[in-house]
Structures are given as C-alpha cells and as structure tokens.
Amino acid sequence: MDSILIQLLNGLDKGGAYALIALGLTLVFGTLGVVNFAHGALFLIGAFCAVTFQKILTFSKQVLDPNITFFDAYIEQPYLELWFGETGLAIIDYAVPLSIIVTIPTMLLVGLAMERGLIRHFYKRTHAEQILVTFGLAIVLQEIIRHFFGANPIPTPAPDIVSGSAAIGTWIGLGENFVYPWWRLIYLASSITIISSVFAFLNLTTFGMVVRAGMFDRQMVAFLGINVQRKFTIIFGLAAVVAGVAGAMYAPILPPDYHMGMDFLVISFVIVVVGGMGSLRGAVAAGFLLGILQSLASMTVVSSLFPGIDQIIIYLVAVVILLTRPRGLMGRKGVMED
Amino acid sequence: MMKRLMNIFKKQSDLTTILLFAAGVLTMPIWLDPIGANYPDLLQKFVIFGIFAVGYNILFGLTGYLSFGHAVFLGVGSYTAVWSFKLFTMNVLPAMLFATLISGLIAAAIGFVSMRRSGIYFSILTLAFAQMFYNLAYSVLIPITNGETGLQLRMHDIRIIDNYFSDPLPGLPSTELFGMSMNGYSGFYFCAVVLILAFYVAMKIFRSPFGMKLKAIKSNQHRMRYIGSDTRPYLITAFIISGMFAGLAGALLAVTDPLAGAERMQWTASGEVILMTILGGVGTLFGPLIGVGVIKYLENIFSAINEAVLHNFFSFMPLWAENLLVAITAPFVGEGWHLTLGILFMIIIIFLPGGLMEGFQKIKRRYLTISMKDSESTTKQE
C-alpha cells in the first residue's frame, strides 16, 4: 500500500515535469502552428540557469585555512560568505529557488529571440521542415551547453532545510515508513501552481481570451484589428518560461546533463500526441497519467509480471491510444489532420 | 550543341547511369585519395551509410513520410548478422540474408501499425517504436543484445556450419566471403558492390510505376484515394523496402566490424540519416549519397582536429590573431563536431530545403539560361 502511494507521488512528480513541457509544446502548436522540437532544449536551458546561478553564487576565493597551523593550507571560500557571513551562506543554500528569479527573464528573452529569430520564418513551411529545423536548433543548443558545462551531470542540491524527507505517513496515519522527499513535494506543488496559473491566465484575462480566440480562428481575430502575431509571440515566450522554470526546479531531483532536454522532449512529444494535438487540458492530463503509469510500472510487483514494462509503457500506451483514438484523448476535430 | 549535350544526359538509360555510378564507387580509393579520405574504415562508412540513406530516401523522399525510427532496422540488422556469425557461419552472405529478412519482418510489423496515421503522428509513432526497441535492448532483451557491452564474437561460439566442416582455429575468427577476409579494402569493395546493387534497385523503384505511385502519394494522397487507389499497401511496401535497406546496412556494419551495440538504435541515429538525406537532397537519386559523403567526411575531418592542429593551421598569422581564431574555432571541432553539424543542418533547412542537389540544379539552371541566351543572340547576329 505504501509503495503504491509512493509510486503514485513519484508519478505525479514526473508527470508534473512532463505536463509542464507538454503544456508549452501544445501552447506553441495551438497558437503558432509550429511543431517545436527545440522545446526540450528550453527545459535544458532552464535547468542550466539554476546551475549557472549556483556557480555564480559560489565563486570562491582561496583563503588560508585557520585550522591548520603547521603549513599554509588553502581552502575555497565563496565571496558571498566572505562579504556577508552567515547570510551569504544562506543565500548559497537557497540557490535553486532563488535561481527562478533569474530563470524567468532569461527564458522569456530566449523564447522571444527564438521565435523572432527562427520560428517565425517557418510558419508557412511544412511540419516536416519545422520539425527538422527545430531539431537542428536543439542539437546546437545542447552542444553549446555541453561545451560550457561538460558532459557529466552537475549535482545541484536543494536547500538544506528541504533536503530530507517529509513524514507523510504520520500526517495521514499510515505509519512512519511512508516518507517522501520534501523537494519532490515542493516540485509537485509548484508544477500544479504553474499549470493552474497558466490556465487562469488564458481563461480569466482579456489577453488570454484573445489568445484563445486566435487559436480558434486566427483570421477572424486579425480582422477585428488585433495584432495576433504579437500576442502569439508573447505566448511563445510564456511557453519558454514554463519549460525553463520546470527545468530549473527539476535540477535538484535529477542532476542536469546536456542531453536531458532530448530525453524529456521525446516523452513530452508522445504525451502531447496522446493528449491530443492542440488540447491544453489533454496535454496536462496525459502528462500526469503517463507519469503515474510509468512509476507504477516500475514497481517490482509489476515488473516481475511483465519484465521491462517500465521502459516501454509510455510508448506502448501511445501506440494503443493513437490507433484506437486517432485524435488522442482530448484532441479537437480538424487539428493536424493531413 | 549545348542542347544536344543536355539531351544525351536526359536520355541516359538506366544502364549508363548504373555503369557510371559503379565506376564512380569502385574508383573511390583513387579519387578520394587527394582529399585524404582514402582509408578503408572511412570508405566502408561511406558506402554502408550510403545504403542506409538510399533506403531511407525510398520512404521519405518518395512518399514524404518522415520516419524517426529507422535506426531500429540498422540495429536489428547488426544484431541479426552477429548472431548469424555466432550460431552458423562466419560467411557474410547468410548474415546479410537473415538481417535483411528479419528487419523486413520488423518493418512490416511497425509499418503496418504506424502507416495507419500520417504526418506528425506517423513520425511520433515510429519514434515511439524506436524508443521501445532501444529501451528493451537495455532491459528485457539483454540475453539477445548483451546490454551495454554490445554483442560480440566469442571463442566458444557454436558456429554450427563452420565447425562441421573444419576444426575451429585458435583465436577469434574474422568475417569472410568464401575464404576472402572482410577486413580493409576487400571489405570496402564488397560493401561497394552491395551499394551498387542496392542503388540499382532504388533506381528501378524510382523509375517504376510503383515509384510513380509513391510520388503521387507525396504530392496528394487524398486525390489518390478519390481516384480509387488504395494507398496503404504501397506505403507499407515502401516502408518495408526501406527497412530492409537499413537492415542490410546494419548487417554490413557488423560484417566490417562484428560488434553490435544498442546505441545504433537510438533516435539520434535516426536523426542522422534524416540529416544526410536532407543535406544531399530529398527525393533525388544521388542526393542522399552526397549527403552521406559530406557528413561522414566532415565528421572524420572535424572530429580529428584539436587545438594543436588549429594553432598549426593559423600559425602564419600574428600571435594574437592566431590565438583569437583558435579560440573562436575550437568549440566547433573535435568534441564539438555535433555543434557544427547542427548549424550546418539548420542552414541547409533554412536556405536550401531541397538540399545540395537543389543547389546544384539552381546553379546549373542559371548557367544554362545564360548560355542559351548567349547562343540565341549569336544566331540572331548571324
């Protein structure tokens, strides 16, 4: 029972990351009609924003170690600690959550630059060409990251205070063995927050209303004298921010390396298709659903029954769904149909 | 005069094309020598990936269906070939036969399911299958694939047929074709012959009614259906054929180096063949081969360069300029070769979606129109 609940939480966690990426992909597809294979790279850049921020905070100076008096021994001491003492250390400790402040504007800029610089020239091209050019862009971004950060995963710890596990079991009366890492809980909460704020933004604001109208009938909205293009460009930036924040927050869970973007992208694409191209709710639902399925499938009980199922469950589900429900779970009619 | 020349080129029969092609491929060690590409490993890569790309082009070039999972067949071909070496004989012909057949069967299964959808859904379905195979190769199928170590020959392999006729020799045996070892240049020439045959088949398909149907599907599938032609069997057949080409290429990879690893099946490997096909020119006969040549050659050159070589290269400049240029170019060579590849790929898609072949044709057309205008003006003067 405990293990099922833990796997459920794990699944929700993974599903949160999937859903955030898939949400961005769907937003971009629904507004601009572009299939963006470089979206995983945005997730990657987000994660490396956190890494870079942490590296900047921990810029160190070599100082004499006061504990060793026999000879001159040097230790690395971050400048922040030298300048601010305890406060500085606390800031370093909170590097990952603080990096969000940097990540958001960076990702917005990256997203806008990407849309204006490349994507906008590909509106009228075929989907195959869009896939290919963004695939090329993803390779380029990934290799740039590798050039600067190397090929090894970079551990990016969460703040000390949440590095342990939360005793969920004792809260809900299931025994003390049922514990779960704090940071993963925070990740789950924040992904749900981000998703709901995106939905609130689209459903409750005038801007969102116009965007939704534009997704439905772009020409009509343009006839009404609204600059649809600019709004869609901003949406692309928003999608980049969502992916970037998802990546930055994911850094403590999975030490970022240069190909994590591609790994997540492939799955996220499958999720978008399962949810239904162009359906935001479908993307989110499918993200969580497949995340949970993947986690449940990796339980020993299941994998002893069907060996290897945890590796392929997502793809298996995708194949089955695409063949039985060609439009995905919640796909609208007329979207991406030849 | 110019026109007559052009007519000869246009009317060239299949036979002249294939003869010219064969001559070109078989003399590769000679004409690639000046650019430093004349050594067996690289030459083998050229022709083997040539087969892969020619096969991929039958699907993507003719029908426009973008498959992201073709590396699976490459991997399956390699595994099958190595298993044939292990179980039956070191002769390469059975290995190639089995590899082609089995990858054809798997292509039939994947194609049957994936071809029910088109467009991006098709791409995602093939991608999903490819990832499934890749992940399984590292988990459940480890008895077959030997996991991360990769499948390789061993001393105590059964090798029924070989051991029946002769006592096993000490040491690992090498792949052979009736006694001819498949290392070095003999391996290259063998692969080259296979490439010529494969190219001949592809050319026949391109110029057959079947190929016309595939092109028609690419240009307008709905209309094909409206005139009462069921497109599905043709699509599946094209998928199977290109899968078999990929399997053959995979088998040849194992022939030249009997070791098969699952990284051959990763989806980036599928991306690579797409890249080669597009770089050369989708849907043209020679394009994919040019793409393979360019990419494999550049890969070979670029990944071998390091900073010392760069310093040497720029050494004629003043020191500060040398250091600056080395600092600028260093990220693009050696380990950074993929960066160059990505940039090259983006440039091609953005400016020349038809690939290098389209570029050649543009230049040719421009040149031809100019020369025709010239000839017209001279006739008027006369």
- CATH label of the domain that carries residue B111: 1.10.3470
Q: Is A280's Cβ below 8 Å from some Cβ in B?
A: no
| Average of per-residue pLDDT across B266-293 | 88
Q: Do A135 and B118 touch (CB under 8 A)?
A: no
Q: Is the pLDDT of residue B8 over 80?
A: no
Q: Do B349 and A326 touch (CB under 8 A)?
A: no
CA nearest to A129 within chain B: B349
Q: Is A34's Cβ below 8 Å from some Cβ in B?
A: no
Q: What is the pLDDT of residue B377?
A: 59
Partner-chain residue, chosen from A135, A315, A326, that has the shortest CB–CB distance to B117: A326
B145 part of a folded domain: yes
Give chain B positions within 8 Å (CB) of A121. 350
Do residues B206 and B189 make contact, with C-beta atoms less than 8 angstroms apart?
no
DSSP states along B10-57: HT--HHHHHHHHHHHHHTHHHHTTTTT--SHHHHHHHHHHHHHHHHHH
Do residues B28 and B193 make contact, with C-beta atoms less than 8 angstroms apart?
no
Residues paired with B176 in a beta bridge: B91, B181
Q: Is the pLDDT of residue B382 over 70?
A: no
B343 part of a folded domain: no
Q: What is the pLDDT of residue B202?
A: 93
Give chain B positions within 8 Å (CB) of A144. 331, 339
Q: Is A59's Cβ below 8 Å from some Cβ in B?
A: no
- The closest alpha carbon to A277, from A330, A323, A207, A236, belongs to A330
Handedness of CA B169, B173, B174, B175 (dihedral sign): positive
> Which range scores top for mean pLDDT: A224-228, B101-105, B141-145, B353-357?
B101-105
C-alpha of A267 from chain center = 12
B322 part of a folded domain: no
Number of domains present in the structure of chain B: 1
A143 part of a folded domain: yes
> What are B105's two structure tokens?
């069967």
CA gap B80, B100 in Å, rounded: 9
Residue ranges of chain A with pLDDT lower than 70? 1, 333-338
Model confidence at B6, in pLDDT bands (50, 70, 90)? low
Partner-chain residue, chosen from B113, B335, B345, that has the shortest CB–CB distance to A323: B113
Q: What is the pLDDT of residue A315?
A: 86
Q: Is A329's Cβ below 8 Å from some Cβ in B?
A: no
Number of domains present in the structure of chain A: 1
Q: Do A132 and B140 touch (CB under 8 A)?
A: no
Give chain A positions within 8 Å (CB) of B65. none
Interface of A with B in 137-156 (CB under 8 A): 137-140, 143-144, 146-147
Partner-chain residue, chosen from B128, B139, B271, that has the shortest CB–CB distance to A135: B271
Domain housing B190: 41-162+173-299
State the burial class of residue A198 (Cβ atoms within 10 Å of its Cβ: 0-12, 13-18, 19+).
Answer: buried
Structural Rg of chain A based on CA atoms = 22
Give chain B positions within 8 Å (CB) of A326. 116-117, 121
A270 part of a folded domain: yes
Q: Do B345 and A136 touch (CB under 8 A)?
A: yes
Q: Is A302's Cβ below 8 Å from some Cβ in B?
A: no
Q: Do B342 and A326 touch (CB under 8 A)?
A: no
A305 part of a folded domain: yes
CA nearest to B330 within chain A: A147
Q: Is A131's Cβ below 8 Å from some Cβ in B?
A: yes
Q: Do B120 and A338 touch (CB under 8 A)?
A: no
CA nearest to B127 within chain A: A266
Q: What is the pLDDT of residue A160?
A: 82
B252: left (phi over 0), alpha (psi -120 to 50) or beta: alpha
> What are B5's two structure tokens?
């020349």
Q: Is the pLDDT of residue B24 over 70?
A: yes
Q: Do A322 and B118 touch (CB under 8 A)?
A: no
- Relative to beta strand B259-260, strand B151-152 is antiparallel
Partner-chain residue, chosen from A121, A125, A143, that has the shortest CB–CB distance to B342: A143
Domain housing A18: 2-54+96-324
CA nearest to B331 within chain A: A147
Q: What is the pLDDT of residue B4?
A: 56
Give chain B positions within 8 Å (CB) of A336. 119-121
- Relative to beta strand A74-78, strand A60-64 is antiparallel
A214-252: pLDDT as tens digits = 888 888 999 999 998 999 999 999 999 999 999 999 999
Q: Do A323 and B135 touch (CB under 8 A)?
A: no
DSSP states along A146-171: HHHH-SS----PPPGGGSSEE-HHHH
B227 part of a folded domain: yes
Count of residues in chain A: 338
pTM of the model: 0.86
Q: Is the pLDDT of residue B124 over 70?
A: yes
A11 part of a folded domain: yes
Model confidence at B378, in pLDDT bands (50, 70, 90)? low
> What are A83's two structure tokens?
């300048």
CA nearest to B135 within chain A: A311
Q: What is the pLDDT of residue B360?
A: 87
Model confidence at B356, in pLDDT bands (50, 70, 90)? confident
- CATH label of the domain that carries residue A249: 1.10.3470
Q: Is A125's Cβ below 8 Å from some Cβ in B?
A: yes
Do residues A275 and A26 make contact, with C-beta atoms less than 8 angstroms apart?
yes
Q: Which residues of B touch A (CB under 8 A)?
A: 64, 66, 113, 116-121, 123-125, 127-129, 131-132, 135-136, 138-141, 221-222, 267-268, 271, 274, 278, 331, 335-336, 338-339, 341-343, 345-346, 349-350, 353
**Where is pLDDT greater, at A164 or B239?**
B239
Give chain B positions within 8 Å (CB) of A118. 346, 350
CA distance A129 to chain B (A): 7
The C-alpha angle with vertex A239 and arms to A233 and A243, in degrees rounded to 5, equals 150
B125-138: pLDDT as tens digits = 898 888 888 888 88
| Average of per-residue pLDDT across B313-338 | 82
CA gap A84, B342 in Å, rounded: 44
B310 part of a folded domain: no
> What are B359's two structure tokens?
């570029």
A74 part of a folded domain: no
B29-83: pLDDT as tens digits = 888 888 878 888 899 999 999 999 999 999 999 998 999 889 999 999 999 999 9
Give chain B positions within 8 Å (CB) of A327. none
B23 part of a folded domain: no
Q: What is the pLDDT of residue A113?
A: 94
> What are A67's two structure tokens?
């504990």
CA nearest to A121 within chain B: B350
